[in-house]
Each structure stands twice: as C-alpha cells, then as structure tokens.
Amino acid sequence: MPDGEIVDTLGTAKIRRPGRDATVAALGLMVPRALRAADELAGRGIDVEVIDVRSLVPLDVTTILDSVHRTGRLFTVEENPRLLGWGAEIASIAADEAFWDLDGPVQRITTPHIPLPSADSLEDLVIPSVESIGQTIEKALQS
C-alpha cells in the first residue's frame, strides 16, 4: 500500500484494459483474474475490455454501458453464487438499456450454487479461475 492519503471518487468504475470484442465487468479479487484471462485471450486474437466496477452502490452504469455499446458482448465475473448476485443487476440494466447493442446474451461467470467451502483448496476449485473465465468467454464468442 502506498504511503500518504489516497483519495478516489466513489462510484466510478475504471477500465483496466481496453478491448473491442467483449466487455468483462469484475469486482475485487476477480479483477486481476479477469485481466490475466484477457491477456491470455489476446494471444488467441480475442480483445477483451476489463472494467473494474470498484463499487456497487453507487454503480457506474455509464462506463459499463458505454463499453457494451463498443464491444457488443457483456460478461460479469463474480466470486459468489449465480443466484441473486450483483451480475444479475448489471445484466438486467444491460437488457433494459443496451439490448440493441448486445450481439449475444449477457453471461455471468460465478461460483456454483453451493455454500462456499472454507478450506482454501476447495474454495479455489469453485471460485472462477483465470482458465474458467477465459474458456467461458472464448466459447461464447465462437458460437
């Protein structure tokens, strides 16, 4: 952590990696994983934009929708189960406000619908990995 005061604007998402083929919205631990997956996909000719959502309330809808307008695809990456996750809200907003910009369904990359294991080794098996993020995006863009 750098020394000194850190002041930033709440409710402002940041584009961590620009791209043209798909938008990935990620939060917390999933941001570096999404960035690594995007780097791996770039080696296979898929250019993914990664947005660090940074806060859910307030939510920077403008940055996300502007990206979807450019890329035509939206993926969310969450370290929580699919049911009632924050990605559902972003998918709903995209369906309401960017439906005609979407070239395919919004895809949510989440943990399975199970209680999150407390053992590190088991937790690593269920939280989205760099590989699972990349595979999901690549498969969706090929179909």
The DSSP string of the chain is --SS-----TT--EEEE--SSEEEEE-TTHHHHHHHHHHHHHTTT--EEEEE---SSS--HHHHHHHHHHHS-EEEEEEEESTT-HHHHHHHHHHHHSGGG-SS--EEEEE-SSPPPSSHHHHHHHSPPHHHHHHHHHHHHH-
pLDDT in the model for residue 60: 97
Q: What is the pLDDT of residue 1?
A: 65
Kindly report the pTM of this predicted structure: 0.92
Widest Cα–Cα separation across the chain = 49
Could you tell me which CATH number the domain at 14-135 has? 3.40.50.920
Residues of the chain predicted below pLDDT 50: none
DSSP-assigned beta bridge partners for residue 48: 22
Which residue from 25, 65, 66, 24 is spatially nearest to 41, judged by alpha carbons?
24
- Cα-Cα-Cα-Cα dihedral of 137, 125, 84, 11, to 10°? -70
Structure tokens at 41: 């996909």
